[in-house]
Amino acid sequence: MIEIERKFLIDNTNITKLATNQYLIKQGYLSSVAERTVRIRTKDDKGYITVKGKSNESGTSRMEWEKEIPFEEALKLLSICEDYIIDKTRYLIPHGKHCFEIDVFHGANEGLLIAEIELSAEDEVFEKPIWLGEEVTGDNRYYNSFIAKKPFKNW
């Protein structure tokens, strides 16, 4: 139940051509306080509820619990979420022994592209592709719960 993840900016949407899969994602927050977030997400035609704890000091690890829920229920829950619903396309790009998840944001967060990689340990070494930009792990501005309240276009 511990998620270990690092985040990076990218500035080139052309890398999405490397994707082996992609999903349309809409997500909102029933709770987005620092100690915990409760997220509702649709990914294509599936629904999910996720609870995440507060990140550790480096921003790399935190508790995460996720459960698939009926799509119709996810849509109803999205309708009562806080503020803004995030709209993005997620691309899966294998690289080395890992798979990067590239989020290309739409709407009020248009222009923001974030690459995430999940690791098995905080100090795990991984092969960095040349298209990977500045690391933003632990920078709260790049948490989805933050950009749901303060969209990228307003920075």
Mean pLDDT across the stretch 50-76? 96
Q: Which domain holds residue 16?
A: 2-154
Please report, for residues 5, 46, 97, 117, 154, the alpha-carbon distance to residue 93 in angstroms, rounded to integers and kept in the order given: 15, 21, 11, 10, 29
How far is C-alpha 77 from the chain's CA centre? Answer: 19
Active site residues: 29
Sign, CA dihedral 64-151-155-19, equals positive
Q: Is the pLDDT of residue 47 over 90?
A: yes
Structure tokens at 76: 């109803």
Chain segment 92-121, per-residue pLDDT in tens: 999 999 999 999 999 999 999 999 999 999
Q: Mean per-residue pLDDT for 31-49?
A: 95
Query: Average pLDDT, stretch 80-87?
Result: 94
Looking at residue 15, its pLDDT comes to: 92
Dist. CA 87–CA 115, nearest whole Å: 16
Task: Provide the residue type at 8 as one letter.
Answer: F
pLDDT band at 37 (very low <50, low <70, confident <90, very high): very high
Sort 91 into a burial class: Cβ within 10 Å, 0-12 / 13-18 / 19+. Answer: buried
Residues in Cβ contact with 14 at an 8 Å cutoff, skipping those fewer than 6 apart: none
The pLDDT mean for the chain works out to 95
When divided into structural domains, the chain yields a total of 1
pLDDT band, residue 65 (cuts 50/70/90): very high
Place of tokens 């930009």: 133
- Residue 145 has which token pair? 């719960």
CATH code: domain of residue 10? 2.40.320.10
Q: Which residues contact 60 (CB under 8 A, 6 or more apart)?
A: 4, 5, 6, 122, 137, 138
Residue 2 pLDDT: 94
> 47-51, 80-84, 132-136: which range is least confident on average?
80-84
98 is written with which tokens? 């890992």
